[in-house]
Amino acid sequence: MNTIIAPTDFSPASLNAVNYAADMAVATNAELLILHATELPFDKNFFSDTYEESEIEKTLIELKKKLLKTTQNKIIIKAKQLAGTIENELIKICAYKNPFAVVMATHGASLRKLLFVGSITVYLSRNLKYPVIVVPENVHFKPVHNIALATDLKNIDELPVEKILSVITAFKAQLSLVYVYSGKEDLNEYAAERSALHAHFKELNPAFHFVQNDNVQSGIVSFAEKNNIDIILTFPKKHTLFHSSESKQLIFHSPVTVMTLH
């Protein structure tokens, strides 16, 4: 059974992401693992966090009960409290759980906690070797029918094809391939790349779209909104259509859920 991991710091944004993850787990018949990480002080004997830890455990239990009720006990839900930074603990847990996805919010309760501050989400989306789904605040899960893959039409043979196929198949979604251009390019020059991309996903019969926009992020978001896209797929570092700053802006400001793959 697939596992979906949803970290939380109990802020409204992160709890919304947890609810999104629970509904996604129902849709994909996956197990849900909820995590909360508490960074310990360097000197453990300096003061005790026993009371805080007991309150966190109680909150996790109540959250689990609530989610079991809202999902009508259709999925297995586990909750775990961890000692350490969320990014380090996630990397370790993902290594042995091999999750279908990690579902995160873009920010959380406070800078002090550093659980869902944007830098942590961006760091994990760029460095975690597993799919990271970034849920905009106030966006709720709905059946995934349309997924857009943002491409720069470079390094086509290096794309994580099997991961993409797995995602599309899990949701039984339609795949759209999207290339944003400035209007100064000769699109006929991309015939070979477009053909190679189609060959990778021919079993999905994807639709290919050239989108004219001087701003890559604006172009893909505009396309997503006009075409009822449920998830935007992007590839930080190697395969991305976006530079680092554009990738970060997409994660922070997209009104549509973003999934990063490596």
Residue at a domain's end among 115, 135, 155: 135
Residues 166, 69 share a domain? no
Helical ranges in the chain per DSSP H: 12-28, 50-70, 86-97, 118-127, 161-171, 191-200, 216-226, 244-253
Residue 194: what residue type?
R
Q: What's the pLDDT score for residue 88?
A: 86
Q: What's the pLDDT score for residue 43?
A: 41
pLDDT, mean of residues 104-130: 62
In this prediction the pTM is: 0.86
Q: Evaluate if residue 117 carries a pLDDT over 70.
A: no
Residues 75, 124 share a domain? yes
45-58 pLDDT, tens digit per residue, is 433 444 466 788 89
DSSP secondary-structure letter at 39?
Answer: P
Residues 25, 125 share a domain? yes
Residues 214, 158 share a domain? yes
Distance CA 203, CA 75 (A): 30
What is the average pLDDT value for the chain, to the nearest integer? Answer: 84
Residue at a domain's end among 106, 135, 164: 135
Q: What's the pLDDT score for residue 237?
A: 55
pLDDT, mean of residues 4-33: 95
In a domain, 140, yes or no: no
Residues 131, 9 share a domain? yes
Q: What's the pLDDT score for residue 118?
A: 52
Residues 47, 113 share a domain? yes
Residue at a domain's end among 116, 135, 154: 135
Residues 152, 47 share a domain? no
Distance CA 225, CA 86 (A): 32
Backbone angles phi, psi at 91, to 5 degrees: -60, -40
Residue 236: CB partners within 8 Å, gap ≥ 6? 125, 126, 242, 244, 247, 260, 262
Confidence label for 238 from pLDDT (cuts 50, 70 and 90): very low
Query: Which CATH number is 200's domain given?
Result: 3.40.50.620
Q: Whole domain around residue 34: which residue ranges?
A: 3-135
Residues 170, 122 share a domain? no
Residues 20, 50 share a domain? yes
Residues 176, 109 share a domain? no
Number of domains, the chain: 2
E strand or H helix that includes residue 258: strand 257-260
For residues 16-37, one letter each, b for 16 or more C-beta atoms within 10 angstroms of the residue's C-beta and e for the rest, the string is: bbbbbbbbbbbbbebbbbbbbb
Burial of residue 162 (CB within 10 Å: 0-12, 13-18, 19+) is exposed
In a domain, 69, yes or no: yes
In a domain, 141, yes or no: no
Residues 243, 131 share a domain? no
